[in-house]
Amino acid sequence: MQERLEKEERQGRLEKQRLNYELEIKKLKLGVSGKSNRSVSGSSGNFEVTKYIKLVHPFQETCR
């Protein structure tokens, strides 16, 4: 009985470690820091379109 409980506890710890590992991998893929959810691109986290609109190519209706 005691051995079975210890085995279940070990399995529970291993499962928790596996889930934490998968969560960290997903955070890294998304570029999310564990300490903050702020945007990496700017200190305020606000994106202003007016600053970057000149980088957008003009619209052309014809297809290539």
Residues 27-63: pLDDT tens digits?
888 886 555 545 455 556 788 888 888 888 888 888 7
Can you give the residue ranges of every domain in the chain?
A: 1-35
Q: What is the DSSP letter of 20?
A: H
Amino acid at 41: S
CA-only gyration radius of the chain, Å: 24
- This model's pTM is above 0.85: no
